[in-house]
Structure formats: structure tokens, C-alpha cells
Structure 1
Amino acid sequence: MTSKQNSTSIRLPMWDELPTLDLHLDQLLALTNQYLSPIIGSQITKTMMHNYFKANIIVPPIKKKYWRTQLAGAIVVGLLKNIFTLNEIKVGLRAILADNSPKVGYNHFVIMFNEQAAKAGTVPSALNSLDLESADTSTIMQYDAVQSILFWLAAKARLAEASTKKVKK
């Protein structure tokens, strides 16, 4: 994350902000990439999505129709794939969904991500929105994943800055 990025450019939508209409795969990808590209600097492809469906990481569509569940899953997996293996993501998502509905699990992740991204520090900071001391294991796991993503983004930005400084010399 560069110092030029601010909390408005690093914000994920809450569950109720996601479209409720049936989506086609191209629409699902466009929305996913609209949210993720400014954050991770890359895009999710059709092939990647098909792999997530085949591996049962994201619930497959029914009759080629996609909903909030697939969009939320694509957003979360799109962030996590940079740090964790697909099998680790699958295990983590199953643990979260064992304790919570997709809406609650996704919203917890987004609340933590948005809050921590807005602070954009180099040290994990306390959450204002959730009490980690009384949180269940899956919520703490989500917090750890959010911190991992943000540290990855910070390291990526520092590498880019170092590379730019080397080129200027």
C-alpha cells in the first residue's frame, strides 16, 4: 500500500452493498476486479474463477447464474490467494462458514479489512468494531488473514519504491 492510497481507495463493499440481481460470469468478474484491482494490482480471470468453483472454494453457480455469495467469495479469495494456498483458503473458509452465515463471515472480514486498511500502519492495530478478546476462532483467523494481506501490500509497495529509487540512481 503506498502513501498515496487512502482509505477511500482501499475499501471493500459490505454484503448489503453487493448486487442482489443474478449476474453472468463477465459481470461477476467485472465487479470483483473493480474492487480488487486498485488493491492488489491484478485481476481475477475466468480460468481462475473456474478453478475456484471446481475446487469447491467458492460455491459453483446454478444454471450459469451468480449471486452475492459468489461475488463475496471471489473478493475474499482474490485477496487471500496472494498469501495462502488455495487449499489453505478452502480450509479457512470452511471454518468460518461452520461458525457463521456467508453474510456474517464476509461482513466480519470486510469490517476488519476496511478498518485496518484505513489505518494502514506497519503494526497490527486494535479493532474498534469487533472485540477480539471474546471473538471466536474463525473471527481471530480472519483478523490474522487481514493483517497478512495488509503486510503483503505494504511490502509490495516498499519493493516498488525501492525498485523505483534504484532506477533513478
Structure 2
Amino acid sequence: MRYDRDLIAHKLIRWENYLNTYKLPAWKELPNIGLYMDQVIALLGQYLDFIPVEDQKNKPVTPTTINNYVRLKVMPAPEKRKYYRIHIAYLIMIFTLKQGTSINGLQQLLPSTTEEEEIRSFYTNYIDRVQMVGNFFTAQTRDAVQDLLNPQEADEGTVENVIIQSILMSGFSRIMAEKLLHLQDADPEKVLELEKISDEQGLHPLAQPPQKEDRDHAL
């Protein structure tokens, strides 16, 4: 694969500057007047413009995806086909979290309540975390791409290495998140017993014991 190194460096710096200044809307900034689906999609397009769109047929935010999240009870249903502040907050959290977890993960992480005060508190803490993680990510990324930003570096494989590293980091992060989600409501004694058995058997992380849930709890 061939890449223009100057273009890649330019894009990385631009992405860093964007993330370091990007902020999701505060709770009080979310509209609470009742929006129809097309208005919601347009609004989310503004809030989540950092999510890449591969083509016009596969947009990340569509009526179908929103309806599916309502059907699966990941978020509250609209009121007479209108979406209010609570719904917009859920959708922002869903479409930012879905980049790194499954539907089941979303169901476990997001509030199951419809109480506005609880959702407001959760959302406010959430957007603070998004900004904090964004700043941490850009700092880590800058360390990882120093060779790309160095005009004297001539290794043609540098861009591919950065891409592979980014994919692997994303994968390991998702695996860790899924493992922690599997511990929800887990019995500590059972988990530690399975862990002990796994250690005694010298179970390699890539081995495939009979019970997947037990494996996740043990490793």
C-alpha cells in the first residue's frame, strides 16, 4: 500500500487538534421541544460528525438503527413519535459507545431508568469521560506516531504499522471491556475458583474450554 506521508501527518495533527477541542453538548444544551426522526438524525449528524461515513448508503445514524435500539429497549421509546432531551442523550451515548461494544454491552452499561434526573447525572458524567479519554488518546497517539511526524523517517511501512497498532489497541480495549461486563452480578467465589482451576491446568488464553462464560470469568 502506498500513502502520502505528508498527508497522513497532516490528518493526524488535524485529528489531534479536533479531539483536544471536541465536546459533546451539555445536558442543558440538548433540545427538549420534541423532535421528529428526520430532525433527530440531522442533529446527531452535527454532534457525531467525527464518526466516519463509508458511503451514503451506510450512514451510522439511520431511522432503522434508532428504531432497533428502541425495540431492544436500549433506550426509552419516543413519546408520540417525538424525541426529547432524554432520547437525544441516550442516542449520543449509544452511537459513541457502539464503536467499542455490543448491543448487550450497551444494555448493561446504560441506565435502565426513565427518571430524568438519573439520566441527566449519568449523561453529564459520561460526556466528561469522553473528553478525558479523548485527551488521553491523543497524547498516547502522538507518542505512537512520532516516526510519521518526523520528515527524516523513511520507512515506507510506518503508516501500516500505525494502522495495525491502532486496530490492535482497539481490539484489546474491547476485549477488556467485554470481560469486565461479563463480571456483572458474578459470584466472586465462583470466579476465583474457576480462576484457580484455570491456573492449575495452565490454561492458555487462546485455549477453548467447554464453557465460554466460565472461560471469561476465569481468565
The TM-score by the shorter chain falls in which range?
Answer: 0.5 to 0.7
Other-structure match for 1:110: 127
SS at the partner of 2:106? helix
1:3 matched to 2:13: yes
Between the aligned residues of both structures, percent identity stands at 26
Task: Map 1:35-114; keep pairs closer than 5 Å.
Answer: 35-38=47-50, 40-42=51-53, 43-94=60-111, 101-114=118-131
Partner Cα separation in structure 2 for residue 16 and residue 105 of structure 1: 14
SS at the partner of 2:43? helix
Partner Cα separation in structure 2 for residue 96 and residue 66 of structure 1: 16
Partner Cα separation in structure 2 for residue 58 and residue 8 of structure 1: 29
Other-structure match for 1:133: none
Partner Cα separation in structure 2 for residue 117 and residue 96 of structure 1: 28
Q: Deviations over 1:101-147 (max 9, x none)?
A: 00010010101212332452228xxxxxxxxxxxxxxxxxxxxxxxx
Partner Cα separation in structure 2 for residue 94 and residue 12 of structure 1: 19
Contact residue 19 and residue 68 of structure 1 kept, 8 A:
yes
- 1:121 partner letter: A
Partner Cα separation in structure 2 for residue 77 and residue 33 of structure 1: 14
CA-based RMSD: 2.9
Higher relative contact order (CA closer than 8 Å, sequence separation 6+): 1
SS at the partner of 1:117? helix
TM-score normalised over the length of structure 1: 0.65
TM-score normalised over the length of structure 2: 0.51
Task: Map 1:113-132; keep pairs closer than 5 Å.
Answer: 113-119=130-136, 120-122=138-140
Partner Cα separation in structure 2 for residue 102 and residue 115 of structure 1: 20
Structure 1 runs not aligned, ≥5 long = 124-157, 163-169
In structure 2, the CA distance between the partners of 1:31 and 1:63, relative to structure 1 (3 Å rule), is same
Contact residue 97 and residue 105 of structure 1 kept, 8 A:
no
Which consecutive segments of 4 or more residues in structure 1 shift more than 6 A? 95-98
Deviation of the 1:32 alpha carbon: 1.2
Pairs aligned (count) = 126
Structure 2 runs not aligned, ≥5 long = 1-10, 54-59, 142-161, 167-219
In structure 2, the CA distance between the partners of 1:97 and 1:64, relative to structure 1 (3 Å rule), is closer
Contact residue 52 and residue 58 of structure 1 kept, 8 A:
yes
